[in-house]
Amino acid sequence: MILSAAQMLEAEKAAFAAGATAEGLMEIAGREAARFVQQFHPTPGFCHVFFGKGHNGGDALVAARHLAEAGWTIKLEKTFPHDELAPLTEKQLARVGLTHGRTSRPLVILDGLLGLGASGEPREPIASAIRHINALRVSEAAWVLALDLPSGLGSDLCVQADATVAMGFAKACLLADAATHFVGRLAVIPLPGVQAPSGADPSEVLQSQNLREFLPPRNFDTHKGQCGRVAVIAGSLKYPGAARLCSAAAVKAGAGLVTLFVPPDIAPILSAAVIPEVMVSPVSDLSEILNQKFDAVAIGPGLGRERDEMVRAFLAKCTTPCVIDADALNAISHDPAALKNHAGPRLLTPHPLEMERLLPQKSRTRRQWVEDFVAEYPVTLLLKGSRTLIGESGSPPAYNCTGHPGMASGGMGDALTGVAAALLAQGKTPLQFGKIAAWICGRAAELALRDGSASQESLTASDVITHLGPAFTDLRDGVL
């Protein structure tokens, strides 16, 4: 659920009437915020805490206390005199123990300056504190975590956060297209007893706690025939790497059997280049695949445009669930109306330029763009981007917020297509597994940074595929 500021205040008021306390909720919010910091930075470092006089500052101080107990060095940046602090914030300040460590990295900043009730342009001393945070992020490569929302969001002076933890529910202001740059990675901390009021937006921010029910542990007697047979139709002489990435991702995402169908002229090349678990089959005419038994098809990565007509004919007749990406999307953009008459379930995974060819955005928000498309076409749509959106007619759209800017490189979409096809082959709906695939790939990218094997500059799609296993583990463990 996504709430407005007024709806969140209503939800908190109802929770307090039912027996919840502000201090109890603050303890949960701060503890989970500290856990979120450690999810990205497991080794204790230096935490610089900027806190205001309200309860948002109290949340930051509780998080600081838990980080201090875990071995972090804490520096408190009080922006108001002691006697101006809210009583509960003052109480939390007194509970933060002094620390004397010398660790300087990682450097984390907690933004607890302004809460949801703030409005207008930030005034002093908050304005100077916001500038200080943003300067440290640039000059010291600090990782900034905003509590509930980046201070100043919606104004001309705003904290640029690397991540934001929303308390209770995601707020509508955090998911506006223009807010993504300031909000960064978004997670939601559930608050027991705080319920969404009637009339709240039913859309969701994807969370592992809600997704893992669709991916239960395998039975002990499971065999490969029960884990899905995936056909990957990808690659060309110009783009063989896309086929390698897509098929490898399908294997690493749990498909029982993966067959890569490629043009005959590159079959020998790819037979030697793909991972051993992938079977390579040369095919001149895609119609030859129609009578073979598969549980899911991934089509498009690196295909080129020479076989557009053949791709359209295949998609019109294929009854198997298909993940349609890259050049297969370009092929159907010639006549998107054909999507109204496809023979089986379809998950489309365009990036914005591919989506523009299917349906021009014009003045639509990304959410409106998705909703308008699925209202016209009976497909599941996964619109890629820093806020990937997954939509389907009759279901509220879902936002995926895992990942980071290092994913802005070639091959990421090929990996996502392979993961989605592997999951789709295991028997759930395109909507369910489109959501899981987006979350898993984003989390795998985060893990590559966390273990030091990549930076935002060096991250590759192969790094994401390598970290799919730990990402699945994190999904089942319920990380934020």
* Average pLDDT rounded to a whole number, residues 123-127: 95
> Using 50, 70 and 90 to split pLDDT, how confident is the model at 102?
low
Q: What's the CA gap between 183 and 148, in Å, rounded? A: 10
Question: Residue 101 above 70 pLDDT?
Answer: no
For residue 417, the model assigns a pLDDT of: 98
Which residues, including other chains, have CB under 8 Å from residue 417's CB and lie 6 or more apart?
Answer: 246, 249, 298, 300, 301, 323, 325, 326, 349
Q: What's the CA gap between 387 and 204, in Å, rounded? A: 12
Neighbouring C-beta atoms of residue 386, cutoff 10 Å: 18
* Average pLDDT rounded to a whole number, residues 108-119: 92
Both ends of the chain: CA-CA distance in Å?
A: 16
Q: What domains appear along the chain, each with residue ranges and CATH number?
A: 2-202 (3.40.50.10260), 212-477 (3.40.1190.20)
For residue 100, the model assigns a pLDDT of: 62
Tens digit of pLDDT for each residue in 139-160?
Answer: 999 999 999 999 999 999 999 9
Which pairs count as long-range contacts for 457-464, CB under 8 Å and 24+ apart, including other chains?
Answer: 457/406, 458/406, 459/406, 459/407, 459/409, 460/409, 460/411, 461/245, 461/409, 461/410, 461/411, 461/412, 461/414, 461/415, 462/245, 462/248, 462/411, 464/249, 464/407, 464/412, 464/415
Tens digit of pLDDT for each residue in 348-358?
Answer: 999 999 999 99
Looking at every residue in the chain, the average pLDDT score rounds to: 95
* Average pLDDT rounded to a whole number, residues 71-94: 90
For residue 59, the model assigns a pLDDT of: 97
pTM greater than the 0.85 cutoff: yes
Q: Give the tokens for residue 34.
A: 């500290």
**Residue with the larger pLDDT of the pair 83 and 164:** 164
Q: Give the tokens for residue 194.
A: 């705080």
The DSSP call for residue 340 is: G
Question: Residue 344 above 70 pLDDT?
Answer: yes
Tens digit of pLDDT for each residue in 192-208?
Answer: 999 999 999 999 999 99
Tens digit of pLDDT for each residue in 20-40?
Answer: 999 999 999 999 999 999 999
For residue 427, the model assigns a pLDDT of: 84
Backbone CA torsion sign across 67, 73, 78, 81: positive
Helix and strand numbers, DSSP H then E, in the chain? 17, 18
Tens digit of pLDDT for each residue in 220-274?
Answer: 999 999 999 999 999 999 999 999 999 999 999 999 999 999 999 999 999 999 9
Q: Give the tokens for residue 241.
A: 């790497």
Which residues, including other chains, have CB under 8 Å from residue 373's CB and lie 6 or more apart?
Answer: 355, 358, 359, 381, 391
Strand 380-383 vs strand 185-189: parallel, antiparallel, or unpaired? unpaired
